[in-house]
A = this chain, B = another copy of it.
């Protein structure tokens, strides 16, 4: 018999997308669905950047350099400099989204059976890339009570074994929105130095910090060879469909190895490199309006959530996600119920059950992730739905 691969069987389906059929069914019934389940921002892609693509003058849509156009990489050097990250264009590989940066990082540094430590809840697709690379994810738990702060050193020490090769950190965090402090980043630095680990730093949401300052892993001193930055322009410029990211590292051996994987897939997409290059020239205050908008939404959503009886939502410092604890029996059941069996004024809300973001089975059962990617009016209506739903949900607890 023709069989699919074991890794294909192990590969998790997207926890964010698995409820999509229920949402489609709800819409067919005439119910309006507010999508707080997915990190697709509604912010307009900057016109100047889109125009650069529209007006690009070439006759042949050629392969770019496998590391990305040199002109774009040189522009990125300027961008990173503006964020206090000093690197050279030969330390950047332009990737197909942040996704490919994760894959190349794993492939270049990790072998089958190697372990990576990731504070949970974490971005669910790390699991996918770990399966693709035959790598084992060792979760260590961060807790809603502390707002999902970095777990204590002792938890890392307990998880580190002979097969441990790396730590993955998403900062600001998806799904928790947590912004790691300078002290936490220094703590991490000591751990990776002491145990000789790579630090895979996912900073997709760098621009979106509302409390305090973003400390990049690339700011840390004395760990140049340890740090591999996995970046993307998807959220920064609301350009998710462009599929342009970057792997950035000062470790030449890792760079050269990742380049071999980059050469095998020939080149990253050309159109969105043009967009990314133009976007670096946006005025410095470009992010102010976007950040102000996200902050307003966050403040609204978090205060609405905490005003609901039995609900607790820590105030996230960055990104555009929050995790809330709800008075429910089972987040997967609840999120499906919201789409299948509930409506409020012909409207409902789609949330992501937090279970899919935990590596440890049984955690996140009464938690959901909310992405505040809707305008304030819609967000208010979505909160009205959630509030009404919690009053009548048959599996309400506590």
Residue ranges of A at the interface with B (Cβ–Cβ < 8 Å): 1-2, 4-9, 11-14, 17, 40-45, 50, 53-55, 59-64, 66, 96-97, 99-100, 103, 107-112, 114, 125, 127-129, 132, 134, 196-198, 225-226, 238-243, 251, 253-254, 257-258, 260-261, 263-272, 275
Given A53-B53, A238-B60, the answer on whether A96 and B6 have CB atoms closer than 8 Å is no
A272 / chain B contacts, CB cutoff of 8 Å: 61, 269, 271
Q: In the complex the two chains form, is A111's CB within 8 Å of B6's CB?
A: yes
Q: In the complex the two chains form, is B50's CB within 8 Å of A61's CB?
A: yes
Given A13-B263, A107-B132, A128-B264, the answer on whether A270 and B243 have CB atoms closer than 8 Å is yes
A12 / chain B contacts, CB cutoff of 8 Å: 260
Given A8-B108, A11-B257, the answer on whether A264 and B53 have CB atoms closer than 8 Å is no
A269 / chain B contacts, CB cutoff of 8 Å: 96, 241-243, 269, 271-272
19 A-B pairs in the complex with CB atoms less than 8 angstroms apart: A4-B253, A5-B111, A5-B257, A11-B107, A11-B260, A11-B261, A11-B264, A12-B260, A45-B60, A53-B271, A54-B55, A61-B240, A64-B241, A96-B269, A112-B112, A125-B265, A132-B264, A242-B269, A243-B268
A1 / chain B contacts, CB cutoff of 8 Å: 196
Please tell me how many copies of the chain the complex holds: 2
- How distant is the Cα of A266 from the Cα of B204 in the complex, in angstroms? 14
Q: In the complex the two chains form, is A61's CB within 8 Å of B5's CB?
A: no
Q: In the complex the two chains form, is A134's CB within 8 Å of B134's CB?
A: yes
Please classify the interface of chain A as helix (H, G, I), strand (E, B), loop, or mixed, using the class held by over half of its residues. loop
Contact of A125 among B53, B54, B264 (CB under 8 A): B264
Q: In the complex the two chains form, is A2's CB within 8 Å of B60's CB?
A: no
Q: In the complex the two chains form, is B132's CB within 8 Å of A112's CB?
A: no
Q: In the complex the two chains form, is A128's CB within 8 Å of B61's CB?
A: no
Within the complex, the shortest CB–CB distance from A17 to chain B, in Å, comes to 6
A97 / chain B contacts, CB cutoff of 8 Å: 265-266
- How distant is the Cα of A349 from the Cα of B238 in the complex, in angstroms? 44
- How distant is the Cα of A6 from the Cα of B60 in the complex, in angstroms? 38
Within the complex, the shortest CB–CB distance from A217 to chain B, in Å, comes to 15
